[in-house]
A and B are shown apart, each in its own frame.
Chain A
């Protein structure tokens, strides 16, 4: 049993039609429902018919988020370990066909980065790599976790898709959560965005959260890359995936990210425009669908937009991010995965969070038994 069998009961076309058939009455019903909303409600919330309800959705999303998560916002920071990659992803600056200086951090470099990051007070670290199994395989990741583990209370990872046994190894080294975005649930077009490399295998990627769930990971992050395909339909597949996972791997927490395609060197511009208004609708739809899911916001978004989103359902955000390996301590000008939009320091972001009446949380939790 995996998500594949659930996924195959739905077609892209069918899901898209289901969303576009929604009317105001469907949105009203989804908004006023007592208890858990289902996929059909989500389709209504993310549909064009819900656009006139945006303010009401925002109010509900705000209330639900405060009720569940309190007046807090988690802060995390990504650390790029390597930009080596054997994949071609037509939207990504790390693609193998892009000419850029490739670098994989060694122990000494990692520890210099750790020092720079720790100076800001971060306790939640997200490790990021491209996909290069020989240089940045499981052995390297395991080693990197061992090095950074004593310095952080929570370790997340956004790397290539792995086997269950690999995840089990990394969890033993302190890995708490894994973010792995499907990029798009449009199976045919997925192949076009990924013409080369292991990532080309749609099914292997789709079943990754199942392998993570079976490995007993603490948290799984889902999402699609906004700008590739029609975002409403992709979001409905995320909701379907989330609903399946919550039932199947009930001891795991879930988070959703909304990476919006940003310009990067040597990549295509977005196929589909996702406006700020669309973005807000999407956050609110996810929140109203799932009261418990964490929603995370990166520095891809503009500072003033991030400030407004803080109240709408977001539970965690990155701050002060650099998207190149060695970006915090070693050198500033290596080529990035994508351009940062919010270039404020972590201290400035934390001050903004406080000004809005929220508590910035650097340290979410401690593992009680080591």
Chain B
């Protein structure tokens, strides 16, 4: 069953599940999980090359038809570093797509809103399709949109915690207000949580840890594929909701009958 395509910058995606490629036991497992997930956008990080060491190239394992790479800037701590990292990522992977993440905090990897806003403005002007990773802050999302973000990626919970949509109340406001796609990133620990985000009207979800560290990552990738799709179908089908039936106090429209 097909759902509405998702458009970010010049790219069109059928799948609304984005995958991170960290923490997999092997590159072969990562490849199989990406394939099973049906994802068309997967993140990669950038690291300094270790000299005189033979490295197994991640990119060669991700050459799957229809799959685009989304380089991130993880490891940078300031807007200035992020701009250089972005330029290097564009060179290395020949893509304008960029997941901007700036986290000076090494414990919880929480994103720095001030540096992120500054870097987004610079990078959008340089032609990058910027997807900033941020805390679930509705005003920040609008500010990022104003300076040219192509999408926003608010977190559901601290990264890697599998706690689900802890920021739900803020995510609802972000989704309501946003004029660019909203990708819920970080914290999604179970397929049901991905479905929940999609039912709320998120445009996509990004999942990494929950798949990579599952007992069977390939099966879990498949589960996330179905859950994300189910959530989106439910959203497009317009769900009925639990009735908070207004207990009728005194009638408010009785006066109309008197006419």
Question: In the bound complex, how far is the Cα of B255 from the Cα of A276, in angstroms?
Answer: 10
Question: In chain A, residues 11-34, which have Cβ atoms closer than 8 Å to a Cβ of chain B?
Answer: 28-29, 31-34
Tell me if B's interface is mostly helix, strand, loop or mixed.
Answer: loop
* Segment from B29-37, B75-83, B236-244 that makes contact with A: B236-244
Number of interface residues of A (CB under 8 A): 28
Binds A, one of B7-15, B54-62, B188-196, B246-254: B246-254
A-B contact count (CB 8 A): 55
Which of B238, B244, B249 is within 8 Å of A29, CB to CB?
Answer: B238
Partner of B178, one of A40, A62, A247, A277: A247
| Any B CB within 8 A of the CB of A207 | no
Return chain A residues, CB-CB under 8 Å to B137.
none
Besides A32-B241, A54-B253, A280-B253, 17 other A-B contacts (C-beta < 8 A): A28-B240, A29-B238, A29-B240, A29-B241, A32-B244, A34-B242, A35-B176, A36-B176, A54-B256, A55-B251, A56-B246, A58-B252, A59-B252, A246-B177, A248-B179, A277-B256, A304-B255
Evaluate whether A276 and B259 lie within 8 angstroms (CB atoms) in the complex, with A28-B240, A247-B178 already known. yes
Q: Which of B162-179 contact A (CB under 8 A)?
A: 172, 176-179
Q: Is the CB of A60 within 8 A of B246?
A: yes
Q: Do B178 and A35 touch across chains, with their CB atoms under 8 A apart? A: no
CB of B242 within 8 A of CB of A32, answer: yes
Q: How far is the CA of A247 from the CA of B177 in the complex (A)?
A: 5
B142 CB-CB contact with A under 8 Å:
yes
Pairs across A and B, CB under 8 Å, 20 listed: A29-B240, A31-B243, A32-B241, A32-B244, A35-B172, A35-B176, A35-B200, A36-B176, A40-B238, A54-B253, A55-B248, A58-B253, A59-B249, A246-B177, A247-B178, A248-B179, A276-B259, A304-B255, A308-B252, A312-B253
| Complexed CA–CA distance, A35 and B202 (Å) | 13
A276 contacts B177, C-beta separation under 8 Å: no
CA gap between A54 and B251 in the complex, in Å? 10
Is there an interface contact between B252 and A312, defined as CB atoms closer than 8 Å?
yes
| CB proximity to A under 8 Å, residues B221-241 | 238, 240-241
List residues of chain B with CB within 8 A of the CB of A54. 253, 256
Binding site for B on A (CB under 8 A): 28-29, 31-36, 40, 54-56, 58-60, 62-63, 246-248, 250, 276-277, 280, 304, 308, 311-312
Taking the nearest CB of chain A, how far is it from the CB of B149, in angstroms?
Answer: 14
Chain A positions within 8 Å of B172 at CB level: 35-36
User: Which residue on chain B has the smallest CB distance to residue A56?
Assistant: B246
CB B28 to nearest CB in A, in angstroms, measures 42
A277–B253 Cα distance when bound, in Å, is: 9
Which residues does chain B contribute within 8 Å of A40, judged by CB atoms?
238
Report the nearest B residue to A54, measured CB to CB: B253
Chain B residues in 8 Å Cβ range of A246: 177
Interface size on B, as a range, is 20 to 34
Which of B241, B249, B255 is A33 in contact with, Cβ under 8 Å? Answer: B241
Chain A residues, Cβ within 8 Å of B177: 246-247, 250
Max count, chain B CB within 10 A of own CB: residue among A29, A32, A62, A311: A32
CA distance A308 to B142 in the complex (A): 38
Bound state CA distance, A246 and B238, in angstroms?
Answer: 22
Give Cα A125 to B111, complex, Å: 45
B256 contact set on A, CB distance < 8 A = 54, 276-277, 280
* Bound CA span A35–B177, Å: 12
Contact B248 A250 (CB under 8 A): no
Query: Contacts of B176 on A, CB cut-off 8 Å?
Result: 35-36
B138, chain A: closest CB distance, angstroms: 9
Chain A residues, Cβ within 8 Å of B243: 31-32
CB distance from A358 to the nearest CB of B (A): 14
B254 to chain A, nearest CB (A): 8
Residue of A nearest to B249 (CB): A59
Q: Are the C-beta atoms of B241 and A34 separated by less than 8 Å?
A: yes
Alpha-carbon distance between A63 and B244 when the two chains are bound, in angstroms: 11
**Please, which residues of chain B bring their CB within 8 A of the CB of A31?**
243
Residues in A whose Cβ lies below 8 Å from that of B246: 56, 59-60, 63
- In the complex, which residue of chain B has the Cβ closest to the Cβ of A35? B172
What CA separation (Å) do A40 and B239 show in the bound complex? 12
Task: Give the chain A neighbours of B142 by CB distance below 8 A.
Answer: 250
Chain A nearest CB: distance from B179 CB in Å?
5
Distance in angstroms between the alpha carbons of A312 and B256 in the assembled complex: 13
A308 contacts across to B, CB distance below 8 A: 252, 255
Asked if residues B252 and A55 are in contact (CB atoms below 8 Å), the reply is yes
B90 to chain A, nearest CB (A): 27
Residue of A nearest to B200 (CB): A35
Closest CB pairs A-B (n = 3): A58-B252, A59-B246, A34-B241
A253 CB to nearest B CB, Å: 14
A311 to chain B, nearest CB (A): 6
Tell me if A32 and B240 are in contact (CB < 8 A).
yes
Closest residue on chain A to residue B139 by CB atoms: A250
Residues of A within 8 A of B248 (CB): 55-56, 59
| Chain A residues, CB < 8 A from B249 | 59
Complex Cα spacing A367 to B170, Å? 28
A20 to B253: give the CA distance in the assembly, Å: 23
- Cα–Cα, bound, A62→B246 (Å): 10
Contacts of B240 in A (CB 8 A): 28-29, 32-33
Q: Which residue of B lies closest to A247 (CB)?
A: B179
Q: Are B179 and A55 in contact (CB under 8 A)?
A: no
